[in-house]
Structure 1
Amino acid sequence: MASPVDPGDDLFDSLRKTDPKKLDEQAKAIVEKDEALRLKQEQRLRDLIQSNSTLPVTISSIRLVGVRNTRRSFLDRIFNPIIGANRDTPYTLSEALQEAGSAADKLRRFDIYHDGISISVDKPPQTDPSSTPTDIDIYLQARERGRVSLKTGTDLGNVEGSAYGNLLWRNIFGGAESINLNASAGTRTRSAYQAVFDTPILSDPDKRLSIDVLASSTHKPWASHEEALKGAGAKFSWATGGGSSHQIAYTGMWRQITGLAGTASPTVRSDAGDSVKSSITHTWIQDQRDNPFIPQRGYLLKTISEIAGWGPLRGDVAFWKSELETSAAIPIPVPGIKGDSGVSFTTGLRAGMLYPLSVGFGSTPQPSRINDRFQLGGPTDVRGFKMGGLGPRDGADAVGGDIFAAASANLLMPLPRLGKDTPLRFQLFANAGRLLALKDRGDNTQKSVYDTVAQLGDGLPSLAAGVGLVYAHPVARFELNFSLPLVMRRGEEARKGLQFGVGINFL
């Protein structure tokens, strides 16, 4: 009796005898045919919508397909406002699709779905007696991200190397809540542990509340000590449109200056030990740049205001601390190149002031501590100087200052043969800055602040210039520069030669 024959055998024999290159060509032709068919169908749908764009419709329902872990009450706050029964006037078809697109964009910004949420429209079932000829059902097709992700890796930059681990748990209760656990250890940040719980408010991706706890230990060789932090805080963030956002935060922090080097200065030794800071901070950002790392056009405005220890806040340090940052970029046209040349000129300015206050409801302002003062100098602000290389010093220690100003001018150009579409740029830069401690005027703090601000314009600031390479990675900016200090004051520490920096915020 003959054995049964599998009809697939002939197919496999045929495939084995076929030239692999021919198979590749056939597969490619099938893919191209399918893609052409998909594009043709999409164009037909666009034409259909365009020809009926003013047709009055009523959205009878919106359904999110392909999700299991998002709760109904969370989605209702997004979809209910655009359901036809909740509106006094009907939509046109174009308006209905625009509202559906806005809802899909909101869903994307919660970061719990993969990109590519698709929208489709259908008529309600004919068996539904409550439907009308103008009713439509909208379907959103989405795919949820994995609920738990774990990342490990290493970082190198800003004179520090570190290893880190990150555990993210998304959409915990079905409303885009998340818990983010971070742990890292490095050459400068000895250890850092942080846990953050984050949740949107009323299903709005532009309004978020987060609660965090942290513990860290950081080596600060420029001031001969280590700083240990333990604390917790809460933050409320909201966006107001047009690239503008706000954040209000409360932080309670126990700080320790410990691990003093044998050569630590009297200033560092006097601030050693424990301190408690209780503060409220407001941050405002207006970002109109086309790229945060290698902008071609646009501007950035940022302010940070912090009040600590005053009135009911208590703690054992009290001050008002305010910082301003601004930058702008303009494209530079190049003869012979049409459109955007990839060459841009950027400028940046940063300034800050720490104003001493009395703790609680007392009457005597407290002098600032090294924990709270500004530091200036390094590869991400005033290049050509060491970390903490500018400003007041006590012996070999950079003890920080209460008032500072720094500025930079940069010319970014694409590298020859690579072109403007790559994230690599050649950089020419010049930057300058000054960092000052408050002058002692007894109890007259206001006079002391006024005199110190006036001193910023006394003589030339510390100045450096140089050339380098800039690489804009999606998560950070990398710089390798050759710097030449041009002006420096007695005691300041310059850095002539190569300097490497990694960060998200460069001057």
Structure 2
Amino acid sequence: MGTVHAKAQENFTDVQDIQKNTFRDDSEKEQIKEIDLEGVKARVDRINIDGLSRTRNDIVEDCIKELFKAKDFQEVLLKAHRARVKLDELGCFKNISIFVDTSKGPKSTPDGLEVTFNVKEYKRITGGVSTHIGNNEGALLIGMRAPNLFGRGERVQVEYSHGSKKTSNFNVAFVKPLRGKHRPTITTSMFQSQSEWPTSGYKQLERGLLFDIGFYSTPWLKHNIQWEANIRDLSVLTRTASFDVRKESGLSLKSALKHILSLDLRDDIIFPSEGSLFQLTSEVAGLGGDVGFLKNEFFLQENYAILEDIVLQGCFSAGYMANLNKNMKVSIPDKYFLGGPLSIRGFEMRGVGPHSDGDALGSMAFWAAGLHLFTPLPFRPGKGGFGDLFRTHFFMNAGNIGNFQLAKNSNLLDNLKKNLRISYGLGVALRLGNMARLEVNYCFPYIFDKGDQIHPGIQFGIGVHFL
């Protein structure tokens, strides 16, 4: 590997232009010819890696070797893109570019290509201060990382964050990517997390260990198998906290095994115009400690482009949990909550469902759905520039939460429809880079229970995952 007969970048064709099916003639740069890439025979004769220093050859070869199996030009581009994704997942490089040229040399073939990856490795120690946005909260993040410790993508990272809602997190992790077509990665970490939940009347201090194995069973289907053990200290936030919250105060020990299955086929994570997102999470707690339950939750999002820049989005989420052992408990932090600008809009955070003296207690099951229409701003101000960061947003949310029973003599469908909550509204959504989006909506709670905490009128939401 290393630098092998590297050519000047002017002699290469940028893979981004090729993916757009365009060819730029050097003699007439303004002329752009469209080329149909399907059926164009091609093969990769040679792959060059320019910029390697500390990174070992074997881990890089494992990421790019599939390129040699390409049989046509379109397949070369797809496998080159996948190779770039794999190289980026190693965490060794901060900049990766791809260039494609015709193969030249004594061993070149008539349809041969030469692919060059230009990479720039991270320094031995990196760090900085940044901001993080999510779950309707902003946070200051201080981090330090030692990437590519032994030349095969190993890294140690230390992070501390302090949120605007009196949350703080400290995490020390070791990450090790492994070789193989399933792109496995092992992560071990120690963490401490402190959070306050005024809507439920409690605060929590959590210390624990996490072991995670992540891999892909297909190019897009990702699995994460996790084992987590933590000690949690739950205490009341104010003197007026309800008795139901007070009786759960104290220390608890949780040991849980979790499987996360995710499939993301969207063309954008903030404002997708097409594609699907699916996530299924299964968790079993009770492998030790005094907390025990079985918990399953899934989320589905579908996006359809009706017209240019007009997108219809549908979301559905549901979850169910059950106590595995009467001698083990299911505490408030483990339960489901609904309501707020990121779930059922028009309600306060955790405002849907059972309350005790104003404190949200959570439930063992829920379902929620959302229907959204995103359009450009009226009259398209700032089109092609700043105005493209905004979308007009129309929405309708529905859902229900409760301790539904799956017994044979109970009608689950009737329980799910009972005490249905519905809200609708309109507003404006703003893209905040590739980090999150901001929503400002005017909400109309339409159907709600007398015990719910509604939020009619203007409501702000900021995050990545919205219902």
2:381 equivalent to 1:418: yes
Partner deviation per Cα, 1:231-264 (whole Å, 9 max, x = no partner): 1111112223363222111111111102441011
Contact 1:378 / 1:388 at 8 angstroms: preserved in 2?
A: yes
> Where does residue 262 of structure 2 map in the other structure?
285
What value does the CA root-mean-square deviation take over the aligned residues? 3.6
Structure 1: distance between partners of 2:28 and 2:284: 56
* Residue 305 of structure 2 is aligned to residue 328 of structure 1: no
Amino acid of the structure 1 residue aligned with 2:201: S
Cα distance change of structure 1 residues 453 and 71 upon mapping to structure 2, 3 Å threshold: same
Distance 1:397 1:448 in 2: 32
Q: What CA distance in whole angstroms lies between the structure 2 residues aligned with 1:371 and 1:465?
A: 28
* Paired AA for residue 97 in structure 2: G
Question: Which residue pairs with 1:40 in the alignment?
Answer: 26
Measure the CA separation in 1 of the matches of 2:87 and 2:270: 27
Question: Hey, what does 1:72 align to over in structure 2?
Answer: 57
From 206, 209, 213, the equivalent of 1:236 is 213
The match for 1:167 is 144
Distance, in Å, in 2 between the alignment partners of 1:284 and 1:449 is 32
Residue 112 (1) aligns with residue 82 (2): no
Give per-residue Cα distances to partners, 1:126-155, cap 9 Å, x unaligned: 8xxxx7999989563423143343232345
1:409 paired residue among 371, 382, 388: 371
Alignment equivalent of 1:350, drawn from 286, 307, 317: 317
- Aligned residue in 2 for 1:27: none
Deviation at 1:76, TM superposition (A): 4.0
Q: Structure 1 residues 386 and 448, CA, compared in 2 at 3 Å: closer, same or farther?
A: farther
Summarize the Cα distance change of 1:135–1:244 in structure 2 as closer, same or farther, 3 Å threshold. Answer: closer
- Map of 2:402 onto structure 1: 436
Task: Give the corresponding residue for 2:393.
Answer: 427
Match of 2:224 among 236, 247, 266: 247
Distance 1:332 1:54, change over 3 A: closer
Deviations 1:94-139 (A, max 9, x none): 6996698364553344343313133456656x8xxxx799998956
The change in CA–CA distance for 1:386 and 1:76 in structure 2 (over 3 A counts) is same
Stretch moving more, 224-233 or 109-118: 109-118
Query: Structure 1: 5+ residue runs without aligned partners?
Result: 1-30, 334-339, 359-363, 440-445
1:383 maps onto 2:345 in alignment: yes
Structure 2 CA distance for aligned equivalents of residues 455 and 465 of structure 1: 23
- Aligned counterparts of 1:503 and 1:133: Cα–Cα separation in 2: 51
Task: Report the counterpart of residue 177 of structure 1 in structure 2.
Answer: 154
Task: Output the CA distance in 1 between the equivalents of 2:86 and 2:137.
Answer: 38
Q: After alignment, is 244-253 or 131-140 more displaced?
A: 131-140
Q: 1:276 to 1:122 in 2, by over 3 A?
A: same
Report the AA paired with residue 174 of structure 2. Answer: F
TM-fit CA distance, 1:466: 1.2
Q: Which of 107, 118, 141 is the aligned partner of 1:142?
A: 118
Which residue matches 1:10? none
Tell me which of 407, 413, 416 is aligned to 1:447.
407
Instruction: Indicate the SS of the match to 1:494.
Output: coil
Report the alpha carbon displacement of residue 504 of structure 1 after superposing the two structures with TM. 1.2
The equivalent of 1:392 in structure 2 is 354
Q: Is the 8 A contact 2:209 2:228 kept in 1?
A: yes
CA contact (8 A) 1:356 1:367 kept: yes
Which structure has the highest strand share of the two? Answer: 2
Distance apart, 1:454 and its partner CA: 4.2
Aligned to 1:495: 455
Counterpart selection for 2:195 from 209, 218, 222: 218
Mapped partners of 1:132, 1:429: distance in 2: 58
Q: 1:171, CA displacement in angstroms? A: 1.8
Tell me if structure 2 keeps the 8 A contact 1:436–1:452: no
Structure 2: distance between partners of 1:278 and 1:262: 31
Whether contact under 8 Å (1:279, 1:307) holds in the other structure is: yes
The 3 A distance-change label for structure 1 pair 500 and 168 is: farther
What is the CA–CA distance in structure 1 between the aligned matches of 2:409 and 2:435, rounded to whole Å? 38
Amino acid at match of 1:64: I
- After superposition, the Cα gap between the structure-2 partners of 1:276 and 1:142, relative to the gap in structure 1 and judged at 3 Å, is same
Q: Deviations over 1:36-72 (max 9, x none)?
A: xx952899xx9xxx9xx769x895x644222111113
Q: What is the identity percentage for the equivalent residue pairs of Structure 1 and Structure 2?
A: 26
Equivalent residue of 2:150, what SS? coil
**Per-residue Cα deviation, 1:376-429 (whole angstroms, up to 9, x for no partner):** 111101111111101111111101111111111111110022377613101111
SS at match of 2:120: coil
With over 3 angstroms needed to count, the CA separation of the structure-2 counterparts of 1:468 and 1:168, relative to structure 1, is: farther
Q: Per-residue displacement from partner, 1:143-199 (whole Å, max 9, x unpaired)?
A: 314334323234566554432212233222211223332211124243211122222
SS of the residue 2:246 aligns to = helix
Higher helix share: 1
Quote the Cα distance in structure 1 between the aligned partners of 2:162 and 2:332: 23
Structure 2 unaligned regions, length at least 5: 1-9, 15-23
Q: Is the 8 A contact 2:96 2:117 kept in 1?
A: no
Secondary structure, aligned partner of 2:86:
helix
Q: Verify: 1:294 aligned to 2:271, yes or no.
A: yes
The residue type equivalent to 1:77 in the other structure is: D
Report the AA paired with residue 322 of structure 1. N
SS at match of 2:333: coil
Call closer, same or farther: CA 1:357–1:157 in 2, change over 3 Å. closer
Amino acid aligned to 2:381: L
Q: Which amino acid aligns with 2:430?
A: Y
SS at match of 2:266: coil
1:273 offset after TM fit, Å?
0.5
Q: Distance in 2 between matches of 1:271 and 1:42?
A: 74
Change (3 A) 1:58 1:352: closer
Change beyond 3 A, Cα 1:71–1:483: same
**CA spacing shift, 1:314–1:452, aligned 2, 3 Å:** farther
Task: Give the alignment's TM-score, normalised by structure 2.
Answer: 0.81
Q: What is the rounded CA distance, in whole Å, between the counterparts of 1:353 and 1:291 in structure 2? A: 29
Separation in 2, partners of 1:380, 1:373: 17
For 2:445 and 2:365, how far apart are their aligned partners in 1?
A: 22
Post-superposition Cα deviations, 1:180-227, rounded to whole Å, max 9, x if no partner, equal 322111242432111222222116583222112210110110111111
TM-score (norm 1): 0.75
1:274 aligns with 2:236: no
Q: Secondary structure at the match of 1:425?
A: strand
